Structure 1
Amino acid sequence: MPHSVNTLPRLIAHRGLSAHAPENTLAAVRAAHEAGINWVELDVQLLGDGTPVIWHDATVQRCSDQRGRLADLDLPGARKLDAGRWFSDTFRGEPMPTLRDMLALIEELNMGLNLELKVNPGRSSAALVDGVVPTLLDALPTERLLLSSFNDAALARARAVAPAERLAIGVLFEGIDRDWQVRCETVNASSVIADWTRLNQRSAQQVCERGYQLVCYTANDPAAFAHQWEWGVESVISDDPASFIGYLPSA
């Protein structure tokens, strides 16, 4: 039976409050905090020089004013990006945050973090874990931290670095398939993080009956999601989590 070392909140802000601020930025995390959301989900990967940064894509064009691969950038180059203007002029000049920048803000705001190890094609899962996990463990207490990934090799290496009593791991799924429990047991995970649109009641109940925290991503329609709370879902990751407040279960 898995044992959780943290208590997850009902609502987690996806890439920060990404409905109202540019995703994976310091501004998005501050916006989540101001909206009363105490946990955020963020993505981490490495620049070409090995610096961990908070970023989702393998390239920079979708969420910045420049083009190119993240793997070709070093930190001075990354500092030149504007990661906010694409969202609105209000966020013009918002930087791409390093992991250390982001962890300092999360600690200052006393927030919790679900950090996804984003292993994009051609990148090393081992290098990512080695560049991220020690810094993460130094920065945040166990009860305010959940590490997740779709990449089993990354999760296995993370577990080798940190025991279950120090680091909670969540395994990410698109659909919960037959080998879901094997994947979780291999890394001594405490959470299953599933696509809410592909979740069914039977799978949800299996996850919960076997003692795992069930988290759903990325839900932005609280009315359509409402019945899934009854299946045992513990937390929802949403671009606009405050919209769920009137739809939360009473217990």
Structure 2
Amino acid sequence: MTRLEAIHPHTIAHRGLSAHFPENTLTAVRGAYRCGCPWVELDVQLLGDGTPVIWHDPGVRRCSSRRGKLFTFDMTTAKTLDVGAWFHPRFAGERMATLEEMLDLINELGLGLNLELKVNRGRDPRTLTETSLPMALDKLPTERLVVSSFNRQALHTARQLEPDPHRLNLGLLYDKLPKEWREIASHLNAYSFHLDWRRLKEKQAREIKATGYRLFCYTANDPIAFAPLWQWGVDAVISDDPDLFAHYLPGKAAT
């Protein structure tokens, strides 16, 4: 087996199964598993005390019972937040997951993980990567882990920590593919590109694939509009609701 070639899926559940569960939570990942999603995409960043947690926003207002910047919370106070009731009352009492808790669950369920190193404004990408990456590499086998980021310093730090591309599958996240993408990918010994499906051009997709990289697209929830991208060579779609794509994947007939 070469890296992920034999087991990688066509669909990845965005922030867990976030169309049906509160995003980036243990419950969302359990829900993804129960619905048959083999891979999930999650965000990691640091609390003020340096604890890596699964969280997307720089603040907690949108997805919790409180307000404030994430870095103002330590683990004790972060665990008092209700991170489920905002989505639906039946999820009241859900708590913020640490990276360690989430990795243990993913390992228990046998899922694959696309872990995004989420570097929000003013936060240190090197510290985030040095804290989070060794834990992820220790907990999950290479074939079930892709680590991605929009932040170039985080990616450089990740590659410095693990120079072997067969030990670390590194994904380059972009809203729009930069002109120097080949040079960047070669320098970082990258595994994949993760691009906004709405801004991707057919020529770019075919060039990426011809160069030997995997190509993931985010965040798509319209399988009919997305359908032409499979013909361009896209390997996987990151979706809030992957089941929408069940009858629209390569080799499947639309029904």
Question: What TM-score, normalized to structure 1?
Answer: 0.97
The reply to whether residue 146 of structure 1 matches residue 146 of structure 2 is yes
After superposition, what is the alpha-carbon deviation per residue over 1:192-247, rounded to whole angstroms, capped at 9, x for unaligned?
11000001100000000000001000000000000110000000000000110110
- 1:157 alignment counterpart: 157
User: What is the rounded CA distance, in whole Å, between the counterparts of 1:94 and 1:88 in structure 2?
Assistant: 11
**Matching of residue 192 in structure 1 with residue 193 in structure 2:** yes
Q: How much has 1:130 moved relative to structure 2?
A: 0.9
Residues 108-187 of structure 1: matches in 2 within 5 Å?
108-162=108-162, 163-187=164-188
Counterpart of 1:60 in structure 2 is 60
Structure 1: any 5+ residue segments left out of the alignment? none
**1:238 — aligned with what?**
239
Closer, same or farther in 2 for the Cα pair 1:190/1:138, shift >3 Å? Answer: same
The alignment-based identity, stated in percent, is 54
Which letter does structure 1 place at the counterpart of 2:102?
A: M
Distance (whole Å) between structure 2 residues aligned to residue 185 and residue 73 of structure 1: 38
Question: SS of the residue aligned with 1:6?
Answer: coil
Matches within 5 A, 1:66-105: 66-105=66-105
Aligned pairs for 1:16-35 within 5 A: 16-35=16-35
SS of the aligned residue for 2:148 comes to strand
The one-letter amino acid paired with 1:125 is: P
Q: Shift of residue 17 of structure 1? A: 0.2
In the other structure, the counterpart of 1:214 is: 215
**Alpha-carbon spacing, 1:22–1:75, altered in 2? closer, same or farther (3 Å):** same
In structure 2, what residue type is equivalent to 1:193? H
| Contact persistence 1:156–1:186 (CA under 8 A) | no
Q: How many aligned residue pairs are there?
A: 249
Which residue number corresponds to residue 5 of structure 1? 3
Structure 1 residues 4 and 150, CA gap change in structure 2 (3 angstroms): farther
Q: Which has the higher contact order (CA 8 A, sep 6+)?
A: 1
Residue type at the aligned position of 1:138: D
Tell me the C-alpha RMSD between the 2 structures. 1.1
CA distance in 1, matches of 2:16, 2:182: 29
Q: Letter of the aligned partner of 1:76 in structure 2?
A: T
SS of 2:12's equivalent in the other structure is strand
Match of 2:203 in 1: 202
The code of the aligned residue for 1:46 comes to L
Under a length normalisation based on structure 2, what TM-score does the superposition of the two structures give? Answer: 0.96
Distance 1:168 1:86 in 2: 34
After TM superposition, what 4+ stretches of structure 1 lie above 2 angstroms from structure 2? none
| CA positional deviation for 1:182 | 1.7
Specify the alignment match of 2:230 in structure 1.
229
Segments of structure 2 that go 5 or more residues without pairing to the other structure are none
CA distance in 1, matches of 2:4, 2:183: 22
Instruction: Specify the code of the residue in structure 1 equivalent to 2:199.
Output: R
Moved more, 172-181 or 73-82: 172-181
Q: Deviations over 1:118-138 (max 9, x none)?
A: 000110011001110111111
Residue 4 of structure 1 deviates from its aligned partner by: 6.0
Cα distance, 1:177 vs structure 2: 2.3
